[in-house]
Each structure stands twice: as structure tokens, then as C-alpha cells.
Amino acid sequence: MSVETYATTATEPSLVDLLDRLLGKGVVITGDVVISLADVDLVRIQLSAVIGSVRKEMGMYD
């Protein structure tokens, strides 16, 4: 009697797969940067970025 075992490994997505998925649906990135001295805010920068596929927005998405 023999027992066969199969090893299953979880494959991690590559960087190209992640970028394709993110660009296909779109991503919004926001962040705040504050530079302060003695609890007094000297500089505040608020960042926002919208990243999406140009092909999808123009209706040329496959």
C-alpha cells in the first residue's frame, strides 16, 4: 500500500500582477506630512493621488 502526498504551496502574485489589478480598478492614495517644532505646526502638506488605467477611462479596455 503506497501513500501519495502532494505538496501545495501558496503562490505569491508578482509585481506585474499587482500593478495590473490595481490599474484595472484604480487606486486613491492620500497622506499628510506635518513638520512641527515645539508642538507648533510649521509646514503641513496634504497629498492626494488617483491612479487608474488610461485605456479604461477612454473605453479601450479589453
Higher-confidence residue of 30 and 50: namely 30
Q: How far is CA 37 from CA 1, 33, 42, in A?
A: 75, 14, 7
Of the chain, the end-to-end C-alpha distance in Å amounts to 51
Specify the pLDDT at position 17. 83
pLDDT value at position 60? 56
| pLDDT of residue 61 exceeding 60 | no
**pTM for this structure?**
0.42
Task: Tell me the CA distances in angstroms from 34 to 30, 31, 50, one per residue in order.
Answer: 14, 10, 21
How many angstroms from the chain centroid is the CA of residue 24? 11
Q: Could you report the per-residue pLDDT of 1-49, keeping only the tens digit for each? A: 566 666 655 678 788 888 777 777 778 889 999 999 998 989 999 999 8
At residue 44, φ and ψ (nearest 5 deg) are -130, 125
